[in-house]
Structures are given as C-alpha cells and as structure tokens.
Amino acid sequence: MSELRGPVRIVGTGLIGTSIGLALARLGVVVELVDGNADNALMAERIGAGSRSVELEPQLVVVAVPPDHVGAVIARQLEQTAGSGAIVTDAASVKSKPLADARRLTGDLSRYVGSHPMAGSERNGPLAGRADLFDGATWAITPHETSDPEAVDLVRRLAEAAGARTVEMSVEDHDLGVARVSHLPHLMSALAAGTLTDAPSSHLQLSGQGVRDVTRIAAGDPKLWTQIVSANSTALTGLLEQIRGELDRLLVALGKEEAADELTAILGQGASGAVRVPGKHGTPHIELVTVLVTIPDRPGQLARLFADAAESGANVEDLRIDHSPGRPAGEVELAVKPASVDQLVTVLTDRGWTVHR
Amino acid sequence: MSELRGPVRIVGTGLIGTSIGLALARLGVVVELVDGNADNALMAERIGAGSRSVELEPQLVVVAVPPDHVGAVIARQLEQTAGSGAIVTDAASVKSKPLADARRLTGDLSRYVGSHPMAGSERNGPLAGRADLFDGATWAITPHETSDPEAVDLVRRLAEAAGARTVEMSVEDHDLGVARVSHLPHLMSALAAGTLTDAPSSHLQLSGQGVRDVTRIAAGDPKLWTQIVSANSTALTGLLEQIRGELDRLLVALGKEEAADELTAILGQGASGAVRVPGKHGTPHIELVTVLVTIPDRPGQLARLFADAAESGANVEDLRIDHSPGRPAGEVELAVKPASVDQLVTVLTDRGWTVHR
C-alpha cells in the first residue's frame, strides 16, 4: 500500500483545489499550490491551503482546473514529473473527456487515474474553500485500462485523507451515472426555468414550492455548466434523446381522453424513479414520517420548536420550510423515523404547537 | 356587498372540501357536506367540517370533486339550486375545462364563478383536512364573461373567510399561469425522474441534493396528475412544444465546440428564469444571504443551533439540510437578511459552531 506522504501539488486553486489543500494541510501534508491566476494562488496560500513554492518534487499531483483544460494539464503534469514518477489525478466532474484529451497529448498514462470528489457549493473561488468540504462525501475513483494499481491506491489515500468515502467505477459508468443524476436534472431544471423568463408576473404570483424546487439548480453559473455538460455530451445525448421520445409521447397523449392510461404510465414512471433517489446518508431511501408544524414568522420560534422536538427524543432527519407566498405564518415539515413520531406529536401538542401529521 | 351567511354546501369531502368546511365551521357558518362516497362524508362530519343533513337551502355551493367531474357537478348544482338562486363555485386547479363542460351541460352560468384555492398537501382525503390550510395562501378567482358581480363578491368572501389572499384573473390567464408554474414543472420533474427507473444503483449512489430537488414532486399521485394535466392540455401543449424546441437546440449544440455560446445562452435563460420565482411571502425574490453551519447528526443539535441563531437576533428566512450520502455530520444552510448576517456569524462562531459564509 502506498502511503500518502506528500508533497501534494495542487494545480488550480478554486473551491475544490483549495479545499483539498486545506484538508491535507490539517493533516500536516506539505501542499504546493499552482495557479495561472496568481491572485487565486496567493489567496489559497493566505488561508492556509499550502505554499506557492515547495522545493521537493511532488509524490502526487491533483489537477483541479476548469473542465475544458483538465486533459491538457494532466498531460503537462505527467511530462513535468516524468523524472520523479509522481502519480497524477484530477478532480473533474466528467472523466472520459479528460482521459481522451490526455491520451491524445501524451504517451504513457499509467501514472494517471481520474477521480471525482462529489462535493461542491454554489460558491466559487479559493475563499469558498473549506477543510471539511469532503467530510463524508462520495469521492469516485475511475481507473482506466492502463492505470497503475499503485496510482489507484494513492488516490484512494488522498480521498480518505480528505474525509471522503470512495467508490470505484469505470470511467464510462461514472460518466453515465453523473449524466443521469446530475447533468440531466440540471438541463431539465434549466429548460423548465427558461419558460419563466418571459412569463407575466401575474403567472409567477401563482408559484408554489414545486416550481421553486424544480428550478433551483438552474440558477447555477451558465458558463461552468456549459463546460460540464459539453464534456459529457455523449452520455447526455443518449439521455436527452430518451427524454425527447417521452416528451413526444406526452404531447401525443395530452388532452386525448383515450390516452389517459398512456399519460398515467409516463407519470407513473416518474413516480417510480423519484422514490429511487437515495435520501440521507446514502441509504436507499429511509422510510420517514413527516409532521407539519405551524410557526409564527418571527425570531426564536424555530429555536423553541427544535428545543421541544429534541426533548421528545426525536432526531429530525430532514426539514423543509413552506414558503407559500403571503403566509403570515410559516409551516415547517419535520421528517423523523416512524418510531419517534408519536412521542414527537404528543410533546409538541402539549407545548401548544399546531401539529398535523 | 354580499355577506357570507351560509349555509355553504360543499360537494366533495377530500382534502380541499373538508378543509374549507373546517375553516367555515370555525366561524360558525353552517356547512352541508355532500359526497358520493358516504364514508368520506361521514369522516368529514366526524372531524367537524359540517353536517351531512342541513334543512336550509344553501347560499353558496362549493364543488371540490376530482378534476374530471367538476364541470358536470357545477351544472347539476346550478340546476338543483335554480329555485333558491344560490351562487356556485368550484375549487379545481384548472379553470377553462370546468367552465366549458358546464356551459355545454346547462344554460345560464351567471350564478357560477370559478376559483382555485392554491394550497394542498401530498396527503389526500378528509382526514388530511385542516381549518388553517388556506391561511395566507393565494386563492385565485376567475370570473367569466357572464359571471354575476355578486357571485364574484361572495366567492371572495369565502376565500377571505378561509384566511386566503385573493387574486382575480381571467380563466385563460389562470390556466396559462398554472401551466407554467405548476403543471410544466411537474411534467419536467416526471421526465427527469423517469430516466432513473432503470438506472443501476451504482449511478444512484452518485446522487446529490440537485436531483433530489428536481425529482421530488414527480412522486405525486400519477392518476390525479393525469386528470390535472389533461384538463389543462391546451396551455400545456404550447409550453411543451416550446420545451421541445429548446431540447432540439440543446441536442444540436451539445458537444459541438463552436456551439458553446448557444449552450450558454440556453443555460443562461434558465438561470434568468430561476431567479424570477418568488421566494417567501410572495415578494419578488428577497435578497438573502446564506450561511453554512456543520452540525453533528444527533438529537438536540438543531435546537441548540436555532437557540443560538435566535439570540443573535437574526430571523431565519429559509433553511435547508444537506444530505450528502454518507456524511456523518449534517450541514444546515441558513438564509437571513443581509443586515443580520454579521451578528449571526459572530454569535454562532463564539458558541463553537463551524460556520461558513
């Protein structure tokens, strides 16, 4: 087993690169920070993610640059470290394209193995970096045919050092997976949200929680998402064609009384898919019971509610605040394990809360 | 101005009908409950939503039956109340089809005006009914060309009595509005979720908060949603055709380097649409600042957090728990007004919380 001793060179000091640096620095690993943007590297250094000048040759290089440049930087780093034999990985959210790009640009890829730390934020840049960004997150490792097993091993050590849970899968499987659970949902959200740009405000007045949930991720940076979805265009094209087929089925069935079963089948498929999305802690959808509580919209009410909930012994597994426009009072939905619900309702009701199951 | 004196006859004692009954009963208005399903009417009566037998003729009839039957029941109620001249309204989520159906089945529609109380729940049936379901909710009232102004007035009184905020708009405008902000998002969510039904579980392992948000509403009852979207097929067909056009643009642009600007334009339109969705209290998207706090996953931690937040004087306007699979600690995102954020961060940090802005 290869040990992660360092130094680790991080190329690209955005959110991901800086957070990896901070996580390693907290373990005492020497981190070298490299960024074409000198300001970013300086900021990352100032917040303790590593140093801009390190004498020793790196044991491991982590490429954390924007998606479009990953392959070229991997190739360049492999060449620069040909003498020392350093392992090279990257942190891009798509794995086939960087591999293909690197393969086109350099010879031997045995010292390279791709990886994808699955954590992020709507924030960007080194100042958004956090040592605990990857705590408990999933970190996919995607060996290719010529990856050296030692390289795979060292990248696993990196992920574990950052606090993540590793999952190993092929490059192709990874890209299909993220196409399904990340890139396609983003595009569908963007298409749905796109129809609102020219909507009269009287229509938007009718908005509820559903449209807020569906369109939330569409607010992400269009330029960054252009790079992400472009890099995964093969997997996404297949899925989008499948969506187009279903959309055509929908358009044919809609409004024809004799095609109601067809509509129900399409909606039923959606319902089956929705319940497959894992909930908290990566379990395959924990059974939870929800309880609705009405709360006055002023400071301190949530505190009072959660203090009362805690005294009932229930652990709140999930919660949501309902924002129906115009409500003077809020409504909080608490999700708890079935075994806790009776006691929770009793305690909250005793303390004067309006509770609905 | 017509006063709401009652009796009010409620036809259909599901969630909406029962909740209207409970809201009126709390004001002392006499409510008559009618349902083809005798068990439902009995349950609604037992929880205090009204009475199954009322001697007096109704002043107002509220039709709250499933979408497919609304028009026929409106027509029948208009005929039954021809002698007393009662006003008739309905609570369906689509307004053109019930109006057209009723017009085909009966003569004079002046005593009818449509309405749409915009509140609901993932729960169904009389036992889910609540007197405060409409408190502060939006209740659309949709007069048609021949609606008697007194009918419009009385329905407004009904909505206000139930605690709702009324919005008056044309039948056509209402249906276009809900197509955009409710029915289309539902279909997009169902299409996205539908691609997950046959996904290998290794793919689902890569799920994050985005796919959970986008697919959540797809879990709604496929039969009920078939009726809802079928009733609004005209407005929806136009929007779905627009989506198909954008999907085709996406498919052409995806993966072509020279079409990156086209992709960015599509994603940018989504981003512009997403920020138009109103936030809390029906305001056109309040500017809020979010703060991330790491919390151990055990009872009482949320209580402690909200107590500390309340002491800082900040009102938490929105919150979200991040459920990255496998995280031993949770992460709570608190949204507060910009003026409160500094004090909030100071107080939380002082009390030992790990806080990120």
Contacts of B184 (CB under 8 A, 6+ apart): A192, A195, B236, B239, B240, B243
Residue A33 pLDDT > 80, yes or no? yes
Q: Extract the tokens encoding A306.
A: 């959660």
- Name residue A336's beta-bridge partners: A289
Higher pLDDT, A316 or A96: A96
Q: Of B174, B271, B328, which is closest to A219 when you measure between CB atoms?
A: B271
DSSP string, A157-183: HHHHHTTPEEEE--HHHHHHHHIIIII
Tell me the average pLDDT across A89-114: 95
Higher pLDDT, B350 or B279: B350
Higher pLDDT, B69 or B312: B69
Higher pLDDT, B303 or B140: B140
pLDDT digits (tens, 9 = 90+) for B277-286: 886 434 444 5
Tell me the average pLDDT across A207-225: 89
Percent of chain A with pLDDT over 70: 93
Chain A residue numbers with beta carbons less than 8 Å from the beta carbon of B266 are 190-191, 194
Residue A30 pLDDT > 50, yes or no? yes
Domains of chain B by residue range: 8-169, 174-274, 282-356
Residue B110: which of B62, B146, B163, B161 has the closest Cα? B146
Q: Which residue is associated with the tokens 């509403």?
A: B217
Residue B278: which of B268, B269, B288 has the closest Cα? B288
Higher pLDDT, A118 or A63: A63
Is residue B10 within 8 A of residue B142, CB to CB? The reply is no
- Name residue A11's beta-bridge partners: A34, A63
Q: Is B149 exposed, middle or buried (0-12, 13-18, 19+ CB in 10 A)?
A: exposed
Q: What is the pLDDT of residue A285?
A: 47
Residue B187: which of B261, B147, B241 has the closest Cα? B241
Q: Of A181, A218, A220, which is closest to B207 when you measure between CB atoms?
A: A181
Tell me the average pLDDT across A169-197: 96
Residue B81 pLDDT > 90, yes or no? yes
Higher pLDDT, B35 or B335: B35
Residue A325 pLDDT > 70, yes or no? no
> CB distance from B125 to chain A under 8 Å?
no
Q: Of A201, A315, A326, which is closest to B165 when you measure between CB atoms?
A: A326
Q: What is the pLDDT of residue A264?
A: 96
Mutation for B interface: A327, A332, A344, most B CBs within 10 A: A327
CATH of domain B282-356: 3.30.70.260
pLDDT band for position B287 (cuts 50, 70, 90) = low
Q: Extract the tokens encoding B320.
A: 């979200």
Residue A324 pLDDT > 60, yes or no? no
Higher pLDDT, A128 or A181: A181
Q: Extract the tokens encoding A328.
A: 């003077």
Percent of chain A with pLDDT over 90: 63
Residue A124 pLDDT > 80, yes or no? no
- Among A57-61, A63-67, B123-127, B305-309, top mean pLDDT goes to A57-61
Tell me: domain A8-169, CATH 3.40.50.720, correct?
yes
Provide the chain B residues 335-354 that lie in CB contact (below 8 A) with chain A: 354
Q: H/E element holding B310?
A: helix B301-311
**Angle B310-B311-B314 from CA coordinates, rounded to 5°:** 50
DSSP string, A208-272: -HHHHHHHGGGGS-HHHHHHHHHHTHHHHHHHHHHHHHHHHHHHHHTT-GGGHHHHHHHHHHHHH
pLDDT digits (tens, 9 = 90+) for A235-294: 999 999 999 999 999 999 997 888 899 999 999 999 999 989 887 434 444 567 788 888
Contacts of A111 (CB under 8 A, 6+ apart): A78, A81, A85, A86, A87, A88, A148, A151
pLDDT band for position B289 (cuts 50, 70, 90) = confident
pLDDT digits (tens, 9 = 90+) for B303-344: 788 888 888 888 777 777 765 544 556 778 888 888 888 888
Q: What is the pLDDT of residue B306?
A: 80
Chain B residue numbers with beta carbons less than 8 Å from the beta carbon of A128 are 356
Tell me the average pLDDT across A55-78: 95
Provide the chain A residues 183-202 that lie in CB contact (below 8 A) with chain B: 184-197, 199-202
Q: What is the pLDDT of residue B286?
A: 52
Provide the chain B residues 66-95 that lie in CB contact (below 8 A) with chain A: none
Give B183's DSSP letter.
Answer: I
The alpha carbon of residue A62 and the mean position of all alpha carbons in its chain are separated, in whole angstroms, by 19
Starting at the edge strand that comes first in sequence, how are the strands of the sheet with B31-34 ordered? B31-34, B8-11, B60-63, B87-90
Q: Do B188 and A185 touch (CB under 8 A)?
A: no
CATH of domain A286-356: 3.30.70.260
Measured over the CA atoms of residue A9, residue A13, residue A16 and residue A21, the dihedral's sign is positive
pLDDT band for position A107 (cuts 50, 70, 90) = confident
Lowest mean pLDDT, pick from A177-191, A246-260, A338-352, B259-273: A338-352
Provide the chain B residues 309-338 that lie in CB contact (below 8 A) with chain A: 309-310, 313-316, 318-321, 323-330
| Homologous superfamily (CATH) for B174-274 | 6-phosphogluconate dehydrogenase C-terminal like domain (1.10.3660.10)
Residue B206: which of B196, B216, B191, B220 has the closest Cα? B196
B64 vs B50: CA distance, rounded Å: 15
Lowest mean pLDDT, pick from A14-18, A39-43, A190-194, A320-324: A320-324
Q: What is the pLDDT of residue B329?
A: 60
Give B164's DSSP letter.
Answer: P
Lowest mean pLDDT, pick from A136-150, A161-175, A326-340, B140-154: A326-340
Amino acid at residue number B255: G
B288 vs B277: CA distance, rounded Å: 14
Chain B residue numbers with beta carbons less than 8 Å from the beta carbon of A142 are none
Chain A residue numbers with beta carbons less than 8 Å from the beta carbon of B321 are 318-319
